[in-house]
A and B are shown apart, each in its own frame.
Chain A
């Protein structure tokens, strides 16, 4: 099986040649073991990547559905809200300034802020309008001014925000109005009472407006008119006024530190608190950014989603452990089989005077080489797999942290070693006489 070694060779180059020849001559076996390592590493990589990212992906998904923070004026009068309808006169109480809103994107956790929507409700009289002539009785209806998807700029950053980014459950039949237009959305039930379709005109406070679309939310907005913020401010006669702002921010589930009062912290702890994306620290920063404001978490959204997310993350973590276990087992099974098949070789080597150490070293060297090759290829394949999963399930990329590469490689080498160890030990202990006689 081996060519005679050249006279000039030293033991080291012999060792290298042994490994090299073993790979060159036993392509099928090496390929089998290599495929097992590659597959195992690919599955492990994909699962780790998906598991570490799934929480963030689902969090983002939820954040486009519902806002989890609300910013209101600090010195506001008490709301008189029953069933979503506020009985407080619209001009009562304090307002926020629209000009302050882009500063939300200037806070420390700006990248965690998915979007925000200002709200300004006003009471208006609405009538149907046909051919420029207003028809019917004017009825008092709430007109809600907001951003639909408004381009804003803070510093050098351009971004787009509004209800389309934060109120994912709002459905529009027709078109969303442009934020700088005078067009409005008509709530579903209000529209059916008034008999209006998209494209029709209605009369609001004496001026006709086009109905861009019919809004369906399953909530109080179904009875309201939703209009660009500018229109509501114009009707109220308070340019720049905003009643409250809904903010969607990606947060970290709260822990003991999150719940502490920042005023009682020492500077070091305060820094740690301030630089963690807790809902408390983000609302604190929002209050800093917007003068005279009070920011608060919407506990229904924040607290319950935190639980659901942590459950999903925990589940994926455990499943990833199962995947790691299964791939470790596949790798060690393949390695054990590959080594077991080479008892004859071991017998020959030992008969030629090789010690247990050098035989084991040869096998371990081969295993390491296999692990590294399989690890690199498997990492690439796993990254592709994770991307595919991300694209087909979440419509977005799953990013693989580069730091994962050495970790995965180390795991691959370790598992291959561990999987080979028992088989190598058995092979080395095997009596060469039996092995050479072919009695396995």
Chain B
């Protein structure tokens, strides 16, 4: 936009400079000068490009990552696979270790053992043995006043507590003639069957009843294929047991994920389209604004191919620089959204970069060549006369 005379250079300096740069660098110089001299417009075109690339990168990153992020949220629902011994028997020894090996870092396996025991006044109640450390991570919805920490401490469900009057007093329980005295450590509320049970640590439970776990609840992470692979491994690891998916959890998870991704995709398409249009509008304005340069070059004898190449190179350079800067900014935006919303950053994905790069260059080329096509038909003299 500046029409001020260019900076003065001594003739000698110009000659030196020109001697230093071979003839081929003319194109490069024109490109650089065009950007430097019309700083304002070039900057606004670049800004549009960067913002568009950033928004695109952020949306694509989110789209790829949201599934993994939501899956970790869904795993807080609890187990999605149950391993149950057939016909109410116990699972073979070492089953838990084998199951844990089968899950191997892609989730967790928690054992449960159940018996019906009697209180001292003859009330029947279900007593369960489990690993409190594991169950605490598996079933995060359990509302517990305080977790048992010492041996022979019990977690008492709210309904069970009302039925056995366990207000801080030790509970005398008997199972097949064997007695145990339990200290209620805390109350458990879930709104489910757990409310009617008393939970012990598995060690205490086995020492008291001699009954081994009959159920292993498994929370397997990953997409459906991985979950079914885990199920197959579990079936091999624990032969004779029944391995089944918790369908109500798997299906609602699949539904919600599908809908969320579809919504996000629609949003991403809309946003990317808007951003591309913004770039298109700005760049067309920028190129159109330089019809005078175009006319001068043409008047000086530049061929159409050279002109096209010049404007295309300019647009491509803008596209590449904008895409790279935008990619970095977009990664930052995605990471921030991940942190703000999911409390874990969205991981930067390099696989997104080629799409952003190609898309940016394509939009830039399109918006450069569109006005050139219009200008080609106009006589340079007309443009130079300002008509």
Interface residues, chain A, with chain B CB atoms under 8 Å away: 32, 36, 39-40, 43, 46-47, 50, 54, 57-58, 61-62, 65-66, 69-70, 76-84, 87, 168-169, 217-219, 296-300, 302-305, 307-308, 311-312, 314-316, 318-320, 322-323, 325-327, 329-330, 333-334, 336-337, 340-341, 385, 389, 392-394, 434, 438-440
Q: Give the residues in chain B near A307, CB-CB below 8 Å.
A: 73, 76
Shortest CB–CB separation between residue A259 and chain B, in angstroms? 10
Given contacts A169-B248, A218-B244, 17 further A-B contacts (CB under 8 A): A36-B277, A58-B256, A61-B259, A70-B191, A76-B159, A78-B125, A296-B191, A298-B191, A304-B76, A308-B74, A312-B256, A316-B263, A319-B268, A329-B275, A341-B285, A341-B288, A393-B262
**For the complex, what is the distance from the CA of A298 to the CA of B189, rounded to whole Å?**
9
Partner of B196, one of A78, A84, A329, A394: A78
Q: Give the residues in chain A near B51, CB-CB below 8 Å.
A: 325-326, 329
Max chain B Cβ within 10 angstroms of own Cβ: one of A32, A40, A43, A46: A43
B245 lies within 8 A of A65 (CB) = no
Max chain B Cβ within 10 angstroms of own Cβ: one of A57, A65, A69, A76: A65
A79 lies within 8 A of B159 (CB) = yes
**For the complex, what is the distance from the CA of A318 to the CA of B340, rounded to whole Å?**
9
Interface membership of B297, Cβ < 8 A: no
Shortest CB–CB separation between residue B4 and chain A, in angstroms? 10
A337 lies within 8 A of B281 (CB) = yes
Q: Give the residues in chain A near B341, CB-CB below 8 Å.
A: 311, 314-315, 318
Interface membership of B3, Cβ < 8 A: yes
Q: Give the residues in chain B near A394, CB-CB below 8 Å.
A: 259
**For the complex, what is the distance from the CA of A297 to the CA of B41, rounded to whole Å?**
60
Q: Give the residues in chain B near A439, CB-CB below 8 Å.
A: 3
Interface membership of B30, Cβ < 8 A: no
Identify the 6 closest CB pairs spanning chains A and B, nearest first. Answer: A337-B285, A218-B247, A330-B278, A438-B386, A439-B3, A303-B141
Shortest CB–CB separation between residue B196 and chain A, in angstroms? 4
Shortest CB–CB separation between residue B246 and chain A, in angstroms? 7
**For the complex, what is the distance from the CA of A50 to the CA of B151, rounded to whole Å?**
53
B263 lies within 8 A of A80 (CB) = no
B141 lies within 8 A of A304 (CB) = yes
B271 lies within 8 A of A43 (CB) = yes
Interface membership of B142, Cβ < 8 A: yes
Chain B residue nearest in CB terms to A62: B252
Interface membership of B84, Cβ < 8 A: yes
14 contacts between A and B (CB under 8 A): A50-B267, A65-B248, A65-B255, A77-B163, A87-B116, A219-B248, A304-B78, A318-B337, A318-B341, A326-B271, A330-B277, A336-B44, A337-B281, A440-B1
Interface string of B264-287 (1 = CB under 8 A from A): 101110110111011001101100
A393 lies within 8 A of B266 (CB) = yes
B78 lies within 8 A of A300 (CB) = yes
Chain A residue nearest in CB terms to B3: A439
- If A61-B256, A307-B76 touch, whether A327 touches B266 (CB-CB below 8 Å) is no
Max chain B Cβ within 10 angstroms of own Cβ: one of A32, A296, A308: A308
**For the complex, what is the distance from the CA of A137 to the CA of B137, rounded to whole Å?**
45
Q: Give the residues in chain A near B120, CB-CB below 8 Å.
A: none
B84 lies within 8 A of A298 (CB) = no
**For the complex, what is the distance from the CA of A65 to the CA of B1, rounded to whole Å?**
62
**For the complex, what is the distance from the CA of A130 to the CA of B280, rounded to whole Å?**
75
Chain B residue nearest in CB terms to A313: B341
A308 lies within 8 A of B271 (CB) = no
B73 lies within 8 A of A50 (CB) = no
Q: Give the residues in chain B near A87, CB-CB below 8 Å.
A: 116
**For the complex, what is the distance from the CA of A439 to the CA of B386, rounded to whole Å?**
9
- If A311-B341, A340-B289, A439-B3 touch, whether A79 touches B193 (CB-CB below 8 Å) is yes
Q: Give the residues in chain B near A327, CB-CB below 8 Å.
A: 274
Interface membership of B230, Cβ < 8 A: no
Shortest CB–CB separation between residue B280 and chain A, in angstroms? 9
**Segment at the interface with A among B55-63, B202-210, B317-325:** B55-63
A54 lies within 8 A of B263 (CB) = yes
- If A334-B281, A336-B44 touch, whether A299 touches B386 (CB-CB below 8 Å) is no
B278 lies within 8 A of A326 (CB) = yes
**For the complex, what is the distance from the CA of A330 to the CA of B62, rounded to whole Å?**
22
Interface membership of B333, Cβ < 8 A: yes
A393 lies within 8 A of B252 (CB) = no
- If A218-B245, A296-B191, A333-B278 touch, whether A311 touches B163 (CB-CB below 8 Å) is no
**For the complex, what is the distance from the CA of A300 to the CA of B249, rounded to whole Å?**
10
Chain B stretch 19-68: residues in CB contact (< 8 A) with chain A? 41, 44, 48, 51-52, 55, 58-59, 62, 66
Interface membership of B77, Cβ < 8 A: yes
B256 lies within 8 A of A308 (CB) = yes
Interface membership of B308, Cβ < 8 A: no
Q: Give the residues in chain A near B333, CB-CB below 8 Å.
A: 322
Chain B residue nearest in CB terms to A332: B278
Q: Give the residues in chain B near A66, CB-CB below 8 Å.
A: 248, 252
Q: Give the residues in chain A near B114, CB-CB below 8 Å.
A: 82-83
A32 lies within 8 A of B73 (CB) = no
Shortest CB–CB separation between residue B231 and chain A, in angstroms? 12
Max chain A Cβ within 10 angstroms of own Cβ: one of B260, B264, B340: B260
Max chain B Cβ within 10 angstroms of own Cβ: one of A65, A81, A322: A322
Partner of B275, one of A69, A218, A330, A385: A330
Q: Give the residues in chain B near A340, CB-CB below 8 Å.
A: 41, 285, 289
Q: Give the residues in chain A near B369, CB-CB below 8 Å.
A: none
**For the complex, what is the distance from the CA of A323 to the CA of B267, rounded to whole Å?**
8
**For the complex, what is the distance from the CA of A273 to the CA of B100, rounded to whole Å?**
45
Interface membership of B378, Cβ < 8 A: no
B84 lies within 8 A of A83 (CB) = yes
B259 lies within 8 A of A299 (CB) = no
B139 lies within 8 A of A300 (CB) = yes
**For the complex, what is the distance from the CA of A77 to the CA of B273, rounded to whole Å?**
62
Max chain A Cβ within 10 angstroms of own Cβ: one of B163, B189, B275: B275
